[in-house]
Amino acid sequence: MGKRRTSKIGLEKGPAMYRKSLDFIAVVASALLLTGTCLPPGRAIADAGSAPGRLQLAGWDMAPDRITTGDIDPGLLVTLDQAAATYKQLAAADVASAVTNIDKMLAALEASDIQTARQAFIDGRAAYKRCKVLTVKFPYLASGIDPRHDSRVGFRAIETRLFTPGAPLPLAEAQALSDKLHTFQGVFAAEPVYAHGVMAGIYFRVHGLGEGLDKGFDEGKIGSRRYWLIDRQNEVAGIELAWNTVFSAAVKKTTTGVDDRVQKGFAEVNRLLGVASFDQLDVPAFETTSQMLADAISDAVLALGWRPPRPEDAED
């Protein structure tokens, strides 16, 4: 295998506004998380509650004089943060699997072993998708690993060439991805993970589950019908692991029925994703169910004692 280089470190307004809202949440949440702190109590990511697709980061203007404490019990917060540390250990296994498989892919490409490279790519990508609850914490790395709108780098760039017969082997792209993943693994190991950060990742990812369904697919690229289904299956598995490890038990003790709604949402989303191909997916049902899951998680934020968003904080 080649020598690994070290990298440097409201109102429904349609798909464009939806993507803008998600990007906004990712940037703000990651800026807070990268400081080594969690979103303070009272500043959870939450649904604005008035219309589907309306997203908001409660208290996104994090000026010191605007930060408030919310009503979450301090003892509960300690328990949730301890559970978040446990979740970090579980997620680290998927991070390690992503690194191992992409290194395996790079070695196979250097040996012109295309079949091994393709399988390692699939396995590495699946592992990365399962830990995407936490990638909102590292936007400067995630943008080079699994970009949402750029086919020139990361998994997208490799797939375009690796699965196209006769295309040049993506050696440079594979090396760059390996570098980014190794850096991600090192930074991830050093950063603390808090319950608020995990909730931010869960909320952001749940609201993005249906992304792309309204605009079609470009076959041969990330997000194509061939990969959309398995990507979502792995992403939901990661979201579900985070929820059950950090929040499920606490929400059950705090309120009646909210965790049941979340679990029902996961079960139904998984059922809908369990079809053999994308063409068999019930798209309207999936969009409706993923929104119901997001609504249930929003209610869990309130049940835990984190303050809901204020009207003046809404993103118009």
Q: Give the number of residues written for the chain.
A: 316
Task: Tell me, yes or no, whether 314 lies in a domain.
Answer: no
Alpha helices per DSSP H over 191-282: 195-207, 225-246, 248-254, 258-273
Task: Tell me, yes or no, whether 26 lies in a domain.
Answer: no
Domain count, the chain: 1
Q: What would the pLDDT profile of 79-128 be if each residue is shown by its tens digit?
A: 999 999 999 999 999 999 999 999 999 999 999 999 999 999 999 999 99
Task: Tell me, yes or no, whether 86 lies in a domain.
Answer: yes
What is the residue range of 220's domain? 80-306
Task: Tell me, yes or no, whether 75 lies in a domain.
Answer: no
Q: What is the pLDDT of residue 80?
A: 96
Task: Tell me, yes or no, whether 52 lies in a domain.
Answer: no
Distance of alpha carbon 148 from alpha carbon 71, whole angstroms: 35
Task: Tell me, yes or no, whether 38 lies in a domain.
Answer: no
Closest by Cα among 238, 15, 7 to 136: 238
Task: Tell me, yes or no, whether 223 lies in a domain.
Answer: yes
Q: What is the pLDDT of residue 88?
A: 95
- Report the percentage of the chain scoring pLDDT > 70: 70
Q: What is the CATH number of the domain that holds 142?
A: 1.20.1420.20
List all residues 6 or more positions away from 53 whose beta carbon is below 8 Å from its beta carbon. 12, 13, 17, 18, 21
DSSP 68: -
Task: Tell me, yes or no, whether 132 lies in a domain.
Answer: yes
- The ranges of the chain with pLDDT < 70 are 1-70, 149, 212, 214-226, 307-316
